[in-house]
Amino acid sequence: MFAQTPTSSPCLGFQLHFTDVYLEELAKVGGGEDGDGSLEDESIRKLLRPFVTELKQGKAERLRSHVEERVFRHLMRQSDVGIAHEQVKKRIIVELG
């Protein structure tokens, strides 16, 4: 996620925190000039690329797991399919409970 050089090694705590707040901060600035709150597909790909690279090449299992949960699974839960899944799950719980 962060470019590593022989003299740089961001501490794990900072990387975990960055991962936690990334989507929240991105949502704050992602409104665009037209105010529709959407980003272009290519912009999204570029913004997610460091996290994809971390999943593919990262050596810290804790960070990879954190990126998977806090970025990619979060995005899946926010998708139309993810929201529909949560609604069905809640309805089943109410019906059974």
Any idea what the Cα angle at residue 47 is, between residues 74 and 63, rounded to 5°? 55
Residue 45, pLDDT > 70, answer yes
How far is 97 from 91, CA to CA, in rounded Å?
Answer: 10
* Interacting residues of 70 by C-beta distance below 8 A, sequence separation 6+: 19, 20, 22, 23
Residue 80 pLDDT more than 80?
A: yes
What percentage of the chain exceeds 70 in pLDDT? 81
Q: Which two tokens stand for residue 27?
A: 């949502």
Give me the residue spans of the domains in the chain.
Answer: 12-96
* Higher pLDDT among residues 26 and 35, named by residue: 26
Rounded CA separation 61/58 (Å)? 7
pTM score of the predicted model:
0.71
